[in-house]
Structure 1
Amino acid sequence: HGLMPVGIQGGNEFQERLAPRLSLCIFPEGKTIQSKTVSDTSAACPPSEAEALIIDKPVRSGQQIYAKGRDLIITAQVGPGAEVIADGNVHIYSTLRGRALAGVMGNEQARIFCKELKAELVSIAGLYQVSEDLPLQVDGPVQIRLAGRQLLIEPL
């Protein structure tokens, strides 16, 4: 059916132990959110007061980095099979070849920024696109954001 699982939520103990071996995220239990306006979402997920998590080494296949309650800044490449996840924005000052998930707790204002987009998957607030659905001709730095219920990929 063309589905590519990116994580689990509400799994039992066995499933949660198995998920990292399958390169799946474990998402915390959350509320079911009906369609909300931007102002409602902003109130539900206020900007984080916490400092951004900064990673200055390459993120390699099989590694997963999660910036809980804050932005994630990576100054090196994110390799294929690697996963970078943030409740806020994800900034990658190099090539994104793995998976990047921003706003994982429902922050629809979150964005993904990268110097070069060659991603396996990008996701904002649970809405995602896999590499097969990404535009073929995306050269140079880009930002990825939500526009309504669609991911918009724009050059910087």
Structure 2
Amino acid sequence: MTTSAPNRSIEFRNTTLGATIAVLRDTEPVGLADSLHKMLGGMPDFFNGEAAILDFSGITKAPGRVDWAGLLSLLRRYQLQPIGVRNLPAELSAAARQAGLAILDNLELRERPASETSRTPPPAPAPKAEAPPQPAAPSAPASLPNTLFVERPLRSGQQVYARGGDLVLLAGMSNGAEVIADGSIHCFGPLRGRALAGAQGNSKARIIATNFGPELVSIAGVYRTFEKGIPEAIAGRGAMVRLNDAGNAQTIEIEPQQLD
């Protein structure tokens, strides 16, 4: 199950306000339902109650009407909570307000990669005694990639995002956990849950695991889910996930690896 960006009727982006932007290219619930199923594998808890802003800038031809009840019901099925709309044709604004949506065209939203922060807030830093100012440590050159190491197993509900580089899981992750990296993901242990590499479009990123068994993998926005089970040749074994963009369609390929 793979979906390349040009064929999607809906696309999701995150903002600094914590709301997900759902960029619509179609307003018909039937067509959107098919796209969401292909993208997310029908997993009803993918978004876990996140607020959503519906962006109509991707609509090439303005619809005469929008089935707001069907559209909102579909998004709520995936635990998205629509709160407002952007770039909606003026003639449709009154119906959107009646459906309980705010018009947010004047709200400035800066987009960021999905899941930039963990759902679990970090602990507050302990108070520190005042100390004389110290010389600032020299910063690393911007050209050097970052690698984030996670030494403990990730449990269900936990999220980790490796901004600008690779993510290395030294103890694996459980079902219900989610990891995202702008670069590649390396998992030395059970790979469960959702793993998304190349989050900002790096099609050369990889996902490499010593014990393969995720719910969903993604490279540069192209997804594959495993609701029918992991293929026997790679289930519980070493595997590498990469993006094959040969030809007109991008596809996810998974290759067995001898990683013992």
TM-score with structure 2 setting the length: 0.45
Q: 1:52 to 1:134 in 2, by over 3 A?
A: farther
The equivalences for 1:67-82 within 5 A come to 67-82=162-177
- The root-mean-square deviation of aligned C-alpha atoms, in Å, is 2.8
The alpha-carbon deviation at position 21 of structure 1 amounts to 4.7
| Whole-angstrom distance in 2 between the partners of 1:70 and 1:50 | 5
Question: CA offset at residue 71 of structure 1?
Answer: 0.3
On the 8 A contact 1:49/1:70 being kept in 2, the answer is: no
* 1:85 is aligned to 2:173: no
| Structure with more strand by fraction | 1
Residue 9 in structure 1 maps to residue 104 in structure 2:
no
Q: Secondary structure at the match of 1:71?
A: strand
Please say if residues 164 and 182 of structure 2, whose CA atoms lie closer than 8 Å, have aligned partners that are also in contact: yes
Alignment of structure 1 residues 48-63 onto 2, 5 Å: 49-63=144-158
Do the aligned partners of residues 154 and 134 (structure 1) sit closer, same or farther apart at CA in structure 2, a change above 3 Å counting?
Answer: farther
Unaligned runs of 5+ in 2: 4-10, 21-46, 51-78, 81-110, 114-142
Larger Rg: 2
Deviation at 1:60, TM superposition (A): 0.7
Could you tell me which of 216, 223, 241 is aligned with 1:121?
A: 216
Shift in Å, 1:118? 1.0
Whether the 8 Å CA contact 2:213–2:230 is kept in 1: the answer is no
TM, length-normalised to structure 1: 0.72
- Provide, for residues 18-60 of structure 1, a one-character-per-residue CA deviation record: whole Å limited to 9, x for no partner: x565598xx727xxxxxxxxxxxxxxxxxx7223100010011
Q: Quick check: 1:69–1:87 contact (8 Å CA) kept in 2?
A: yes
Letter in 2 for 1:28: R
Counterpart in 2 of 1:142?
239
Bigger drift between 112-121 and 133-142 goes to 133-142
Matched length: 129
Paired with 1:10 and 1:98, the residues of 2 have a C-alpha distance of 20
Residues 1:10 and 1:63: Cα distance change in structure 2 (over 3 Å): closer
Deviation string 1:107-149 (CA, Å, 9 cap, x unpaired) is 0000000011110100000001111266421142110001111
- Structure 1 residues 126, 133: closer, same or farther in 2, change over 3 A? farther
**Consecutive unaligned residues in structure 1, runs of 5 or more:** 30-47
- What is the rounded CA distance, in whole Å, between the counterparts of 1:133 and 1:127 in structure 2? 18
1:68 to 1:11, Cα distance in 2 relative to 1, 3 A = closer
* Aligned-partner SS, 1:132: coil
